[in-house]
Amino acid sequence: MDIDKLELAVDGLKEVIEVGEKVMSDGKVDFSDSVHIPELYEALKKVIEAGKAYKELGEEIKDIDSIEAIKLITKLFS
């Protein structure tokens, strides 16, 4: 089984975190952070798309093999 939905979820979550780090770099959220809205939107679209396929995500997790696990961990920490 492929792990495309898991990879999509990981990519989206990483992007949400990256945007959050940019927004909070000055310690506050204000109007100047609105430039990051398009980035946040694209990241959340990935998370939502993966989340909509929660049954497939469960199957991917259940059937993950060692090669896929390494691929996912590498993606998570890259």
Domain boundary assignment for the chain: 4-76
Sign of CA dihedral 44, 50, 52, 57: negative
pLDDT single digits (tens) 25-38: 999 999 999 999 99
Q: Token pair 């495309």 is at which residue? A: 4
Q: pTM for the whole thing?
A: 0.83
pLDDT for 56-71, tens place per residue? 888 889 999 999 999 9
Residue with tokens 């798309």: 49
